Structure 1
């Protein structure tokens, strides 16, 4: 007992026996230190384990964003884009500040305060994990998201998160905040093939990123959370919820005021799919440029951001496209209405949603919109368009002279009422005319091709390979080899002038019968009109396009001479038939080959090679390819002489190293140009003279048997263009169709635009050419006082020579013929 009392009687003795507060603090300190040490050692070990495996963040400076191939016209207009990832990189100062605020409000409000990692965000993410047992958010900053998308994966594992943290810290050390934002907004995926902010603005709103509203910025930012789940096109309801939450965050953080917030919240969802916005409709050109780039750079073509610049002029391309479409529609209307494209089953929906779905699968061709007939009255119809608009068409809107197609040569009687040929559910086509009014029409079955070249260097200035690229990718300019018919004759006449003939030489336009010893069937060639007019001058024979004269001419100069002459125009003579059908243009050639040959007449006798791509730039603007075409250089043989063009005007000097070779003597080229001008002045091409009212036009029509192919190849000294019209199936065009009726109107419409404002280019007469008065019937020098005498041009050494007698002697000896 006493001992027991003494303990409680003396409190000091009790305190010494119990642990002191200082000891407890010391224990806690060492436990904390041990824990931190273990954490640091673990972190250091983890760092040492992960760090060597991390990529160097400096590689971000050299990173190549996958950017599509883009094709441009010569004046910088976009005509094509190719690649799975649509992307248009922006510099930081091009990113709108309001968009940045929307991004920070949604993803990382502390972006400009932290150093790559937000402890608050990580704690919040950890708290969510402890509460739910699942990873709901990763607490990632923008820098961490950038690190993940550039270097890592989206797989939700802890090692990836540690890698994110380490990479983010390193990125923040090496890059400014502005550089990080620039990389982020050019890299991230925004759904619907849109990579980067600018591509997203174009795809969802069809506008530049600078032109969007606060609500639209919030909508785009909302996609980042999950591009499929919050896509305004695929899931508009969820996208709107996400957008409004972001707008609320922006308001809470004082990024926008109350009025802006309220207006943005009330703004409807205006997102809709916008494909690539092209400045110029030139799909055949874009495809040719794509193929050339692919040949040079392989599959990197589609991801390395190459920019291909072509020689095509945007205004000329638009003119060519319009001329071709109008010409084919005019031909089609001359031959009658073929009936509806298809018939839709009766709609089961009062809103016609099933019809709308089907209409949306039918492409717009040449501006012709597909439409479903809703109601038919005798003099009026009502149609439904794919965008759900309803259009009413009266009888005056395309029906007044409508006739049914029977054959290529005949049509039925004019329709009296729409009920005769239409019923509810029929799919038809309508188009707006120049005045903006709707008109009833149909997609032409006939096809065409147009190509225009600069005769000085062969640059392709416009090219249309068919009625519509969506209808057929077949490029008839480069792939559609067809018989050129009489448009081929000038190449043969060139050889004749070089072999002793003159424009005044007399040749007999009379029937010929050529026996075929192999088949036993005689060949009796005819002229297009089935008539024969007897002896005529070579000039007349060309502008009147007489087939029998061409056959006699080929026989006279000899097959080998003719083939050798053709080879210099760029043809392979081994491809041509070695028979007299060659004179009628029976060997198939492409419109581009014909345009190239005619360029030699336009430029005074030089051979140019057509080209399309002028240069290719990489994503940094460095030129990786540049064309070096051969150019016409008339002074190259005489270096001290000033360079003149075909009209005698001063021209840009051209170095000898890229001078185009001369393939036709300058004087022969002048004679041919003179004869081809007469085709336009008073021959089969005179419609061009009547409508364009110019004296510097030359060219030649072409019509093959059937007819199946119609052509016009023509030029002035600044532009050469070739047009072909025919059916892909090589079927008949109709007996009243010729080069002058089907192809020439398209050529005229194009050249009207191409030569607008350009003064006439009158060709300079070269030395060694003389002008002589001749008798038009004999081709010989006229007697003094002859009232019928006309002027003709000759080579100075051929003055007064006709070569008619030598031709007759040659024919009598070698060419069996029967005159009747």
Structure 2
């Protein structure tokens, strides 16, 4: 008993000293501990995810992969596995488990090593958020204090949810939602027990226990997890036996990309970085929904790629990618210089399958193209070896286009047999045709293209294509490339003429212009393309036929200053509009997005909309932070109150960028305070920049520009430059305009329906290079004589907007408008229709082929009738125009 009393006092003293030391350490470390606010507002670093308008994931930005889960999203088996393995007394301890700590101390005394034991789940979470993994006593003490602090502020369920989302699990996966995707390509609810046990065992050492890097160790760790679950009676013996013997099924999965639209994703990423900053954009967990539906984006991508292949193939084959071995019967050179066997051959013996497979699996290609090696050349087909390790045949239908490329304006003769094109040992590219799934020889297109489609009523982008392949060139030509627009400018020139007294029936002299320039000592002779002149011509027909000299005469009649000011109404930067008469021919340079925006003014009846690409932004739990509210093409905008836009926000950091969001994305501001989380915003009207009458009349001229008009037998027949559109689409509710610059360096087609505007550009990135011309390829003609020269790679002659660009627009509209009924453009109520004489544009009482009905603005209809001396019957060869050309403007 005499020893008990001193021992008791020593214990009391030790307890007091321990408590005092603990409090002293706590107050010493308190300044370094996280604040209460930080603990209450713990924020996960979650990558930004970008979706199409219909919710398909197109990209993910950010180094850390995380898919946030609520505790309700997590299957109970996963919760049980984590608790059994990491902290079985989680719901009993206050953040620090005395039993676990005692076990760790005993381990330290017996082994002298600092093990991982003793850390509760809360302590692991504290370390993950606020500390390092350094094994020091001071870090452990901080970990204890923070864990205890967290338990005072957060519920057990909140702590568990944070842990399940925060813990690092290898291969840049943070949280179990991301781990399920990275290792199995599944959601957590789709995992079986063996897979759950595998990822539940990762927190201890994710780099050496994961099933991809170390499957042997992963199996051992999985067994430990399953044994703990069995001990805790979370699973039965039968479940244990089934899971412990299950095979390893993990393999590395990327982000669950559902749809490829990299140009669109990159465009949105740049906007988000500009608004939030790179670090915040990539870690803030933003889910960004674009305005672009996947269906229209896919239609545009396929149309652009097919169109570039068509252009490239009608200009000839540039040769195989490489010659891998030299067959004994191969001549000195095959194809063209690109495939010269004397310079590119690397073997004199045919390759074995293993060698070919190793080479092909590492050979980089883009989009739908795949590499293949020619192993046999027959008379009219070739046998190829593909990267799948299989042999396939490409028949003559997939080879016959490949006549030799000489220059952009010259092609060789049509091939007669397969050996005229490739040889054994050639490395070639192949692609599967979209229409019939037929494999054919191909090559990377040399030319470039851009495509932009907008909703003309609110400016929402419907498709964005910046080139053939983002992975080949990340330059977005749809929004960044300023190229000369050519005749795509003419609808706006004609609009200025209508605003200054001209009508669709006005007669202009389509005759050559020869103007001497004193300053340069040269003559300016603008020419039509082709150089054909019709003499007196109505305004409607002049635009439909894209008469260059008529456009010049209109600029002179209206006045250059008035014309440039009028063009600026459509959104063109006034500083970038040429201040000379070449503006009439499209010498100004603008992006496809700017052209499509300007065309929207005509399509929507005169309103300048704001193009935008983001529909809404959500946080990582799906709560809407911002929603677009673009101005609409309406005045007044009579929209029901239940259609008003809702805008939400959750924190001041989101509100700080409201003005920039409004400016960049064309939308309303975010609410100013948390009391305005769900504020109904009124529908706004876009500014009217053009009279409804003017917009309708220009659209009417553009409607006849994409069709055939008149009667062939009565000699009133004429074709608009974009006649293929109506012929192939079989619709009368489309309007459009071709565009071609000097030497065909830039080609365009822009067109629209009431609800969709689209612009296509085709050209070379090298602005000095012309698209050239293509000669007749009889092999292609023979395939489908009825459609020869209608659309595709069989077209011949000089490249222009109708041949190089319009086919992409047509193919896009064929898919987008499939099943969509035709809708007639609503005519402004004050317009009138009057029967006029085809030749003179004056009133007529005739009702035959010499007359037609035309639209006129109020007070603009002609007031005089065509006289007998002026009357011309196109079908009568003896009928002559009595009025001299020089008297006609």
* TM-score with structure 2 setting the length: 0.80
State the partner residue of 2:410: 410
State the partner residue of 2:790: none
State the partner residue of 1:390: 390
Partners of 1:438 and 1:96 lie apart in 2 by 46
Higher mean alpha-carbon deviation, 574-583 vs 105-114, is at 105-114
Q: Does 1:424 align with 2:425?
A: yes
User: Matched residue of 2:183: which SS?
Assistant: helix
Report the CA distance shift for 1:24/1:381 in structure 2 as closer, same or farther (over 3 A): same
Aligned length: 772
User: Matched residue of 1:402: which SS?
Assistant: coil
Partners of 1:775 and 1:811 lie apart in 2 by 18
Q: CA deviation at 1:608?
A: 1.7
State the partner residue of 2:545: 544
Q: CA deviation at 1:211?
A: 0.9
State the partner residue of 2:763: 726
Per-residue deviation, residues 706-751 of structure 1 (Å, max 9, x unmatched): 2122211111111111111112113222223222222222112222
State the partner residue of 2:253: 274
Q: Does 1:139 align with 2:132?
A: no
User: Matched residue of 1:658: which SS?
Assistant: coil
Match of 2:853 among 770, 791, 794: 791
State the partner residue of 2:485: 484
Query: What are the residue-to-residue correspondences of 1:330-345 with 2, within 5 Å?
Result: 330-342=310-322
Higher mean alpha-carbon deviation, 679-688 vs 394-403, is at 394-403
Higher mean alpha-carbon deviation, 490-499 vs 124-133, is at 124-133
Per-residue deviation, residues 636-661 of structure 1 (Å, max 9, x unmatched): 79xxxxxxxxxxxxxxxx99982222
Per-residue deviation, residues 171-212 of structure 1 (Å, max 9, x unmatched): 334433322221101111222222211112222222212112
Q: CA deviation at 1:783?
A: 5.0
Q: CA deviation at 1:543?
A: 1.0
Q: CA deviation at 1:458?
A: 1.6
User: Matched residue of 1:491: which SS?
Assistant: helix
State the partner residue of 1:451: 452
Partners of 1:461 and 1:75 lie apart in 2 by 12
Higher mean alpha-carbon deviation, 76-85 vs 779-788, is at 779-788
Q: Does 1:706 align with 2:743?
A: yes
What RMSD, in angstroms, separates the aligned Cα atoms of the two structures? 3.4
State the partner residue of 2:651: none
Partners of 2:808 and 2:230 lie apart in 1 by 60
Match of 2:301 among 294, 304, 321: 321
Contact 2:507 2:888 in 1 (8 A): no
Partners of 1:610 and 1:312 lie apart in 2 by 12
Contact 2:377 2:423 in 1 (8 A): no
Q: CA deviation at 1:147?
A: 1.5
State the partner residue of 1:679: 705
User: Matched residue of 1:200: which SS?
Assistant: helix
User: Matched residue of 2:757: which SS?
Assistant: strand
Partners of 2:403 and 2:417 lie apart in 1 by 10
Contact 1:464 1:477 in 2 (8 A): yes
Partners of 1:620 and 1:253 lie apart in 2 by 32
Partners of 1:398 and 1:223 lie apart in 2 by 51
State the partner residue of 1:666: 692
Q: Which runs of 5+ in 1 are unaligned?
A: 1-21, 638-653, 816-820
Per-residue deviation, residues 357-388 of structure 1 (Å, max 9, x unmatched): 874462x522223x252734433333342xx5
Partners of 2:732 and 2:135 lie apart in 1 by 77
Partners of 1:186 and 1:792 lie apart in 2 by 68
Q: Does 1:200 align with 2:179?
A: yes
Query: What are the residue-to-residue correspondences of 1:558-597 with 2, within 5 Å?
Result: 558-597=559-598
Q: CA deviation at 1:456?
A: 1.4
Contact 2:403 2:421 in 1 (8 A): no
Q: CA deviation at 1:623?
A: 4.9
Q: CA deviation at 1:616?
A: 3.0
Per-residue deviation, residues 249-306 of structure 1 (Å, max 9, x unmatched): 4445443344443443444333233222233322222222222222222242222222
Report the CA distance shift for 1:131/1:543 in structure 2 as closer, same or farther (over 3 A): same
Partners of 1:625 and 1:802 lie apart in 2 by 59
State the partner residue of 1:309: 289
Contact 2:415 2:421 in 1 (8 A): no
Match of 1:76 among 47, 51, 55: 55
Higher mean alpha-carbon deviation, 624-633 vs 598-607, is at 624-633
Query: What are the residue-to-residue correspondences of 1:685-704 with 2, within 5 Å?
Result: 685-704=722-741
User: Matched residue of 2:142: which SS?
Assistant: helix
Contact 2:431 2:441 in 1 (8 A): yes
Q: Does 1:226 align with 2:252?
A: no
State the partner residue of 2:803: 741
State the partner residue of 2:611: 610
State the partner residue of 2:646: none
Per-residue deviation, residues 685-715 of structure 1 (Å, max 9, x unmatched): 2222122222111111112222122211111
Report the CA distance shift for 1:447/1:240 in structure 2 as closer, same or farther (over 3 A): farther
User: Matched residue of 1:461: which SS?
Assistant: strand
Partners of 1:394 and 1:315 lie apart in 2 by 31
Report the CA distance shift for 1:356/1:608 in structure 2 as closer, same or farther (over 3 A): same
User: Matched residue of 1:190: which SS?
Assistant: coil
Partners of 2:572 and 2:161 lie apart in 1 by 54
Partners of 2:245 and 2:626 lie apart in 1 by 51
Higher mean alpha-carbon deviation, 529-538 vs 477-486, is at 529-538
Report the CA distance shift for 1:796/1:137 in structure 2 as closer, same or farther (over 3 A): closer
Contact 1:552 1:811 in 2 (8 A): no
User: Matched residue of 1:480: which SS?
Assistant: coil
Partners of 1:44 and 1:767 lie apart in 2 by 85
User: Matched residue of 1:660: which SS?
Assistant: coil
Partners of 1:264 and 1:350 lie apart in 2 by 42
Q: CA deviation at 1:634?
A: 3.9
Contact 1:502 1:538 in 2 (8 A): yes
State the partner residue of 2:67: 88
Higher mean alpha-carbon deviation, 206-215 vs 164-173, is at 164-173
Q: Does 1:288 align with 2:350?
A: no
State the partner residue of 1:14: none
Report the CA distance shift for 1:280/1:114 in structure 2 as closer, same or farther (over 3 A): same
Partners of 2:293 and 2:570 lie apart in 1 by 26
Q: CA deviation at 1:389?
A: 4.2
Contact 1:700 1:712 in 2 (8 A): yes
Higher mean alpha-carbon deviation, 309-318 vs 447-456, is at 309-318
- Bigger-Rg structure (1/2): 1
Partners of 1:409 and 1:531 lie apart in 2 by 23
Q: CA deviation at 1:675?
A: 1.1
Partners of 1:198 and 1:802 lie apart in 2 by 78
Report the CA distance shift for 1:248/1:423 in structure 2 as closer, same or farther (over 3 A): farther
Partners of 2:37 and 2:560 lie apart in 1 by 70
Q: CA deviation at 1:97?
A: 1.6
State the partner residue of 2:193: 214
Contact 1:617 1:624 in 2 (8 A): yes
Contact 1:636 1:656 in 2 (8 A): no
Higher mean alpha-carbon deviation, 162-171 vs 534-543, is at 162-171
Q: CA deviation at 1:38?
A: 4.8
Q: CA deviation at 1:599?
A: 1.0
Report the CA distance shift for 1:89/1:246 in structure 2 as closer, same or farther (over 3 A): same
